[in-house]
Chains A and B, each alone.
Chain A
Amino acid sequence: MAEPKEMITVQDLHLYYGQQEALRGVTIDFHRNEITAVIGPSGCGKSSLLKTINRLNDLVPDVTVTGTVKLNGQDIYAPNMDAVALRKEVGMLFQQPNPFPFSIYDNVIYGLRISGEKRKNVLDEAVERSLKAAAIWDEVKDRLHDNAMSLSGGQQQRICIARVLATQPKVILMDEPTSALDPISSSEIERTMLKLKDDYSIVIVTRNMQQASRISDRTAFFLAGELIEDGPTRDIFMQPQKKETEDYISGRFG
């Protein structure tokens, strides 16, 4: 039986920071082995949506979430769901590259080592596989024991990708992963992403329209905590159905 194409299904999701409603009843699917771009102006709730998928919002005080989010058919807000285990399935990449102040090698195997893996050949193999998948192996293979902080921003971000890949997640969330990088590093990250989608489902939040249109299969447009429109990227950019989408994409606000 073929797996359903939906990797993540979100239904009627509301999210409140204290009294303030950041997401107002969002229903959306994210597909397997596709890149979905989430676009919208600042404060539209796109990062909040991302952080509900790996329950990183749990750590913010006074957050209330209602509605359901299912990963592979499993309700991730069910009471018996372990948020720590969930985050091993759902990797995340942040706006600022945030490698740990350790060696490249130690960064990549961090997740594995914490979960108890000690065999050196397994760790070595995971480092090589992850760095290759993150398209940075050739640049760093001779200095795996240098500090990751000594790399450039774009390299650091790809080390962070490798660190996520090493734990073999199903989904990778990316919160404006290239907005702090120069254009060359950005395009390296984009190339890496296109390769990754064969094995992973990717959700990327971005403010860069060109980026969304270049790399994503589907695009979702958010405004003021609501999903205005989503669909294949080509349709959203070429023939948006809603006026707000058209205005935003053509740069009339945002």
Chain B
Amino acid sequence: MSPRKWDKVATTVLYMISVFIIAVLAFLLLYILISGLPHVTWHFITGRSSSFAAGGGIGIQLFNSLYLLILSMLISIPLSLGAGIYLSEYAPKNWLTDLIRNMIEILSSLPSVVVGLFGFLVFSINMKLGFSILSGALALTVFNLPLLTRKVEDSLQAVHYTQREAGYALGLSRWETVIHVVVPSALPGILTGMILGAGRVFGEAAALIYTAGQSSPPLDFTNWNPTYIASPLNPLRSAETLAVHIWKINSEGIIPDASAVSAGASAILILFVLLFNFAARYFGNKLYRHLTGARERG
């Protein structure tokens, strides 16, 4: 066959593969949304879940998911920023740095159920944190840290060397150059990575089953003091998240409307993850335009 024909064949094949992938994705999304959204009501989103009777909501689970997300991001953002900045700006190029980089790569491909069992052994048992939001947040940090670090490092590496030279030549120290020149230039990429990481954490179940637990204690939504035992903000209480809730009612739920609750909860979960992704794009683009003046240039 002539090169021209090959080109046509290759284009057609690639085109078909992309259509297939998009079709699968669209089917999944539509299936979840169409079967789930009819069950979503304000009462469903905010109400308490029930153990036996029909008509339970997912309010507590949604709150737990968001709280756990914030807590785990609070731990993992500073750590990944520090590690990413070190690897990109300070680490000497030698076998040790390469080894660390490889370790991070391996860590990022660890199955989340392994991370969950690791978290159970280390945080819940050894550190005596039990089934708690804190163990869950730490396990999610282990789960999320490699990707965030990688993203931070890549974003910093993408900042051109001339920017660093400009900083040094102006009489900025290395640290000042990193903090005042390089990191702001890399901010859009870093922000996108963080929000995508948040989406991943939000949908995670396997790492949480053995760390944050599969149930929540009775919560008193009038007392927000984090040290109070029934406070929603108490980081040492156990917490069932939305994703864990879906897994649980599907595997061992005995409520009569299990499939409806599961479908509704899945729809909410998907909507939130989509929201995170769109937010990542929106803020990333906006920040990028703001920082580079792309809009002014047209």
The interface of chain A, by Cβ under 8 A from chain B, is: 54, 56, 59, 61, 84-88, 91-92, 94, 96, 98-102, 110-111, 114-115, 146-150, 160, 163-164, 167
Say whether A160 contacts B292, CB under 8 Å: no
Of A88, A91, A101, A167, which is within 8 A of B291 by CB? A101
Q: In chain B between 159 and 174, which residues have their CB closer than 8 angstroms to a CB of chain A? A: 160, 162-163, 165-166, 168-173
Say whether B169 contacts A150, CB under 8 Å: no
Q: How many residues of B contact A (CB 8 A)?
A: 24
The interface of chain B, by Cβ under 8 A from chain A, is: 92, 160, 162-163, 165-166, 168-173, 176, 180-181, 184-185, 290-294, 296-297
Q: Decide yes or no: A148 and B293 within 8 Å by CB, A102-B184, A111-B171, A167-B171 being known contacts.
A: yes
Say whether A149 contacts B162, CB under 8 Å: no
**Would you mind naming 9 contact pairs between A and B with Cβ atoms under 8 Å apart?**
A54-B169, A56-B165, A61-B92, A102-B184, A146-B293, A148-B293, A150-B294, A160-B166, A164-B170
Of A91, A98, A111, A150, which is within 8 A of B165 by CB? A98
Say whether B172 contacts A94, CB under 8 Å: no
Say whether B297 contacts A150, CB under 8 Å: yes
Of A91, A110, A149, A164, which is within 8 A of B293 by CB? A149
Minimum CB–CB distance for B25 against chain A, Å: 34
Contacts of B169 in A (CB 8 A): 54, 56, 87, 91-92, 94, 164
Of A61, A100, A146, A149, which is within 8 A of B166 by CB? A100
Minimum CB–CB distance for A22 against chain B, Å: 18
Closest 3 CB pairs of A and B: A147-B293, A150-B293, A150-B296
Measured CB to CB, the nearest residue on chain B to A87 is B171
Query: In the bound complex, what is the Cα–Cα distance between A149 and B288 (angstroms)?
Result: 12
Contacts of A167 in B (CB 8 A): 170-171
Contacts of B297 in A (CB 8 A): 149-150
Say whether A59 contacts B168, CB under 8 Å: yes
Measured CB to CB, the nearest residue on chain A to B182 is A100
Say whether A101 contacts B162, CB under 8 Å: no
Contacts of A87 in B (CB 8 A): 168-171
Measured CB to CB, the nearest residue on chain B to A89 is B171
Minimum CB–CB distance for B296 against chain A, Å: 4
Say whether B296 contacts A147, CB under 8 Å: yes
Of A61, A102, A111, which is within 8 A of B170 by CB? A111
Query: In the bound complex, what is the Cα–Cα distance between A86 and B173 (angstroms)?
Result: 11
Measured CB to CB, the nearest residue on chain A to B296 is A150
Select the residue from B92, B166, B180 with max chain A CB neighbours within 10 A. B166
Measured CB to CB, the nearest residue on chain B to A91 is B169
Query: In the bound complex, what is the Cα–Cα distance between A144 and B104 (angstroms)?
Result: 43
Measured CB to CB, the nearest residue on chain A to B161 is A98
Q: Decide yes or no: A163 and B171 within 8 Å by CB, A100-B163, A147-B296, A148-B293 being known contacts.
A: no
Query: In the bound complex, what is the Cα–Cα distance between A54 and B167 (angstroms)?
Result: 13
Measured CB to CB, the nearest residue on chain B to A96 is B162
New A-B pairs, 9, CB < 8 Å, besides A98-B162, A111-B171, A167-B170: A54-B169, A84-B171, A87-B168, A87-B170, A94-B166, A99-B166, A114-B172, A115-B171, A148-B293
Query: In the bound complex, what is the Cα–Cα distance between A150 and B298 (angstroms)?
Result: 9
Query: In the bound complex, what is the Cα–Cα distance between A62 and B170 (angstroms)?
Result: 23
Contacts of B184 in A (CB 8 A): 100-102
Minimum CB–CB distance for B205 against chain A, Å: 40
Query: In the bound complex, what is the Cα–Cα distance between A147 and B298 (angstroms)?
Result: 13
Q: Decide yes or no: A100 and B181 within 8 Å by CB, A94-B162, A150-B296, A160-B166 being known contacts.
A: yes
Query: In the bound complex, what is the Cα–Cα distance between A115 and B166 (angstroms)?
Result: 16
Query: In the bound complex, what is the Cα–Cα distance between A149 and B170 (angstroms)?
Result: 18
Query: In the bound complex, what is the Cα–Cα distance between A220 and B171 (angstroms)?
Result: 27
